[in-house]
Structure formats: structure tokens, C-alpha cells
């Protein structure tokens, strides 16, 4: 029985957990957070949009222009570009594009740039977006709607769609799967992760994190521990260019995981104190098992049927490097994703995690 446990946990983490959430949501009946967005200008709250940027000269003009053209009253929207020690012309381009405030900061990492911008914000609500993400016209109207509906909501993340499907990367498929899980988590309790393309917080809920610990993973569970809800608003949409290749995605995920492991090991993610019971179950099922997956794969080799399945998966992943078949590319994506989790831990343990970041290849 013990030899089968790692394989069972792997299947549960990838298939069983979403099925449990779906059954749970069905048993509870209709969702309770399908709130309408504000229709009239007078109903929309003042809002600050923060864009952290490091050497984003190639995209910052388009990003600021996109922000200023959104269907949100200009007099109620303040756009702050926080430049994190840029060595190119990002600062000049952001100012020329019409950003309300451009902070020319010393290099300190994305989180510190965001902290500096929030300190300059004068609104109750603060939204965030990446420099290479483009927001849909009604994205901010949709993003702020849940805050008016429920005073216990401290964090709202929107939906990001990855484009550049011409490459071999299968991130778009994975992200659709992840968003389905996120919608169920949000409906039942709170989300266990977010994304940098589109999200918002109340200033009262905002927490200045360790500079190595990005908001995507650290904010939702931290705010839940502080008594807030963290929800998903799929109608608040953004698009972002995807890394073209599976191999490029592996390098991006390895870097991301080197930032995720400090949150897991040091940041309190696995400490259940402060979690409501439902949310503790979700963190254990979605996050703890997800990050344990590469090690569960190794442990599963002790059981012969699992060993055979692992060999078939590895063979399919190797073929995916030569034969551009969708099933083989998915297998390659999965294997490299698992490897990135393990290598991210290796990088964190051996070298530590730097606060700074650079844009992944092909995403600008």
C-alpha cells in the first residue's frame, strides 16, 4: 500500500483535487460571487494602477497607452509606473506616454518597486499589472466590482490569456486548467494563487513582503491569514505574450520556482495557523502536493506499474523534442515543469533567490 501512495497522491493532485472541488461546488449550489460590475461612472471608486518595470522600453509606451484608453473614468484612475533601476529608456518613454507618476527607483526588485508605488497611492483600491500585459477595455471595471460587493474581500485577481500559440509551449493549455481550479477555489473559499498580469488589493490589506517573494503566490494566502478573502474575477481579462518554446518555458518556470520556494519554506505557506479549514485543505491539495510532485514521481518508481508509466511518460517527453505532436509536446511540457520545480529548489538552496528579475525570452 505504501508503495502505491506516491502514485495515488500524484493522481489526486492533478485530477482528484479538481474533481473534489467540482463535486463540492455542485453540492453547495449556485455561486455567490457573480456580482455585476458598476455601470455608471459615479459608482466606480478612485483607483491606482501600478506597473512595475525593469528595462521595458520596448513595451512601456504601449502599456501606458493601453491603461489610459481603458473604459474607466480618467479622473478616477491614476497610473504609476515604478521603474526598478532601469538602464534603458523606460523612464523617459513612460513619462512621454502620459503616466501620471513615474518613479525612477534604485534597483531593488519588483516587489520593492511595487511597495514604493503603493506608498504613493492615494486611493483605497490599488490594481497591478505587468508591463507586457494588455488589459481588455472593461478589465478594471470588472476587477473592482467584487470589492463593493463584499467588504471582506481584500484581493481580486483577473484572468490572463496567453497568446503566441504558434510555438511549442503548452502553457496556454495548462493555464486554462489552472483557471478552472482557481474559479472553484474562489467560489468555495479563496484562491491559493494569483497572477501578475491583473490583480488588485485594498490598501488596508496590502502587505510589504520579503523582496524575494512575489505577490502571485504570497499575497492570497497571506491576506487570508489576515482575515481577508482572495477571489478570482474571470471577467477581468488581460492578454500576455507567451514564451514560444517548451524549453523557454522550462527556464522561465525554473526562475519562478526559485522565487516560490522561499515562500513555501520561509514565507508561511505551509503553516496552517490562520487558515480556515476549507482553505487549509486547498493549500495542502493544490500547493503542497504540487511542489512535492517531482519528489513523489521519484518515490513512485518503487511501484512497478508506476515505474512503467513513468518510463512511457519520459519516452513521450523525449520524442516531443523531435516530433511536434500535441500529445508529445504536452508530455514534454509536463516533464520539464516537474523538473523546473526540483531545479528551482536546487537554485534556491544553493544560490539563494535574487530580488531582481529580467523578462523571459520571447515575451516582449
Asked whether residue 205 is domain-assigned, the answer is: yes
The 10s digit of each residue's pLDDT in 327-345 is: 888 889 899 999 999 999 9
Confidence band (pLDDT; 50, 70, 90) for 274? very high
Whether the predicted pLDDT of 91 surpasses 60: yes
Percent of the chain residues past pLDDT 90, beyond the cut: 73
* Residue 33 near residue 187 (C-beta atoms within 8 A): yes
Q: Among 12-16, 34-38, 286-290, 358-362, name the one with the lowest average pLDDT.
A: 34-38
Residues 6+ apart with CB under 8 A from 349: 261
Q: How many domains, in total, are found in the chain?
A: 1
Please indicate, yes or no, if residue 90 is contained in any of the structural domains. yes
- Measured CA to CA, the distance from residue 335 to residue 317 in angstroms comes to 7
Q: Exposed e or buried b for every residue in 195-217, given b needs 16+ CB within 10 A?
A: bbbbbbbbeebbeebebbbbbbb
| Residue 139 within any structural domain of the chain | yes
Residue 279's contacts (CB-CB under 8 Å, 6 or more residues apart) are 189, 190, 192, 221, 224
Q: Is the pLDDT of residue 116 over 70?
A: yes
Rounded to 5 degrees, φ, ψ at 358 are: -130, 155
174: pLDDT strictly greater than 70: yes
pLDDT of residue 163: 79
**Gap between the Cα atoms of 244 and 205, Å rounded:** 36
82 by DSSP, 3-state: which? strand
| Res 35: pLDDT | 64
CATH of residue 238: 3.90.550.10
Report in angstroms the alpha-carbon separations of 297 from 62, 175, 261, 319, 321.
43, 22, 19, 20, 21
Say yes or no to pLDDT of 361 above 80.
no
pLDDT attached to residue 358: 74
Residue 4 located in a structural domain: no
**344 vs 121, 162, 167, 294, 326, CA distance in Å?**
34, 23, 24, 11, 26
Range of the domain at 128: 41-244
Neighbours of 75 (CB within 10 A): 8
Within-domain flag for 34: no
**Dihedral pair phi/psi, residue 362, rounded to 5°:** 80, 5
Is 162 within the bounds of a domain?
Answer: yes
Lowest-confidence range among 37-46, 114-123, 291-300, 344-353? 37-46
Q: pLDDT confidence of 352, banded at 50, 70, 90?
A: confident
Please provide the DSSP assignment of 342-357 as one string.
HHHHHHHHHH---S--
What does the pLDDT read at residue 37? 60
The pLDDT, as a whole number, for residue 38 is 58
- The torsion region of residue 340 among left (phi > 0), alpha (psi -120 to 50) and beta comes to alpha
Residue, of 206 and 319, whose pLDDT is higher: 206
pLDDT surpasses 90 at 100: yes
Give strand pairing partners of 231: 156
Report the chain's C-alpha Rg in angstroms.
21
Query: For position 166, what pLDDT does the model report?
Result: 59
Q: What is the per-residue pLDDT for 353? A: 85
User: Which grid cell sits at 353?
Assistant: 533567490
The residue to which cell 468555495 is assigned = 188
Residue 161 contacts residue 237 (beta carbons within 8 Å): yes
User: How confident is residue 1, by pLDDT bands cut at 50, 70 and 90?
Assistant: low
pLDDT at 167: 64
pLDDT score of 41: 64
Residue 136 domain-assigned (yes or no) = yes
Q: 342 CB contacts (<8 Å, ≥6 apart)?
A: 294, 295
In the predicted model, is pLDDT for residue 321 greater than 90?
A: no
- Assess contact for 130 and 82: CB atoms under 8 A: no
Query: 16-25, 49-58, 65-74, 303-312: which range is least confident on average?
Result: 303-312
Contacts of 82 (CB under 8 A, 6+ apart): 50, 51, 52, 53, 103, 105, 113, 114, 116, 117
Does 204 have pLDDT greater than 60?
yes
Q: What is the pLDDT of residue 338?
A: 95
How far apart CA 164 and CA 244 sit, in angstroms, is 7
Take residue 264 and report the three cell numbers written for it. 513555501
> What was the pLDDT predicted at 173?
83
Average pLDDT over residues 242-252: 82
C-beta of residue 216 within 8 angstroms of C-beta of residue 194:
yes
Which of 159, 174, 346 minimizes the C-alpha distance to 246? 174
Of 41-50, 110-119, 155-164, 315-324, the one with minimum mean pLDDT is 315-324
Q: What is the largest CA-CA distance in the chain?
A: 65
At 320, is the pLDDT very low, low, confident or very high (cuts 50, 70, 90)?
Answer: confident
Condensed to tens digits (0 to 9), the pLDDT of residues 29-87 reads 776 556 666 556 668 999 999 999 999 999 999 999 999 999 999 999 999 999 999 99
Average pLDDT, the chain: 91
pLDDT of residue 363: 59
Closest CA to 93 of 121, 56, 54, 128: 56
Amino acid at each position: 500500500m505504501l508503495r502505491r501512495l506516491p502514485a495515488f497522491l500524484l493522481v489526486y493532485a492533478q485530477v482528484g483535487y479538481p474533481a473534489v472541488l467540482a463535486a463540492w461546488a455542485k453540492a453547495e449550489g449556485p455561486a455567490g460571487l457573480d456580482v455585476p460590475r458598476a455601470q455608471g461612472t459615479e459608482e466606480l471608486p478612485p483607483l491606482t494602477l501600478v506597473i512595475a518595470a525593469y528595462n521595458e522600453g520596448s513595451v512601456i509606451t504601449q502599456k501606458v497607452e493601453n491603461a489610459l484608453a481603458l473604459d474607466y473614468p480618467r479622473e478616477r484612475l491614476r497610473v504609476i509606473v515604478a521603474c526598478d533601476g532601469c538602464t534603458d529608456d523606460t523612464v523617459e518613454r513612460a513619462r512621454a506616454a502620459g503616466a501620471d507618476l513615474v518613479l525612477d527607483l534604485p534597483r531593488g526588485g519588483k516587489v520593492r518597486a511595487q511597495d514604493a508605488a503603493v506608498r504613493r497611492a492615494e486611493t483605497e483600491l490599488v490594481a497591478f499589472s505587468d508591463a507586457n500585459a494588455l488589459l481588455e477595455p472593461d478589465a478594471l471595471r470588472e476587477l473592482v466590482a467584487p470589492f463593493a460587493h463584499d467588504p471582506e474581500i481584500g484581493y481580486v485577481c483577473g484572468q490572463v490569456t496567453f497568446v503566441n500559440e504558434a510555438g511549442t509551449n503548452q502553457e496556454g493549455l495548462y493555464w486554462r486548467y489552472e483557471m478552472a481550479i482557481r474559479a472553484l477555489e474562489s467560489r468555495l473559499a479563496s484562491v491559493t494563487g494569483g497572477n501578475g498580469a491583473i490583480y488588485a488589493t485594498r490598501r488596508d490589506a496590502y502587505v510589504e513582503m520579503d523582496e524575494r517573494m512575489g505577490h502571485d503566490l504570497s499575497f492570497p494566502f497571506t491576506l487570508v491569514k489576515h482575515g481577508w478573502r482572495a477571489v478570482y474575477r474571470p471577467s477581468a481579462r488581460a492578454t500576455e505574450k507567451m514564451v514560444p518554446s517548451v524549453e523557454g518555458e522550462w527556464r522561465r518556470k525554473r526562475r519562478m520556482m526559485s522565487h516560490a520556494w522561499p515562500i513555501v519554506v520561509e514565507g508561511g505557506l505551509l503553516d496552517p495557523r490562520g487558515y480556515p479549514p476549507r482553505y487549509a485543505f486547498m493549500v495542502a491539495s493544490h500547493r503542497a502536493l504540487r511542489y512535492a510532485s517531482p519528489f513523489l514521481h521519484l518515490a513512485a518508481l518503487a511501484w512497478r506499474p508506476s515505474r512503467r508509466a513513468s518510463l512511457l511518460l519520459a519516452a513521450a517527453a523525449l520524442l516531443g523534442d523531435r516530433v511536434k505532436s500535441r500529445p508529445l509536446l504536452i508530455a514534454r511540457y509536463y516533464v520539464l515543469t516537474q523538473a523546473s520545480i526540483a531545479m528551482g529548489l536546487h537554485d534556491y538552496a544553493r544560490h539563494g533567490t535574487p530580488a531582481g528579475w529580467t523578462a523571459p525570452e520571447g515575451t516582449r
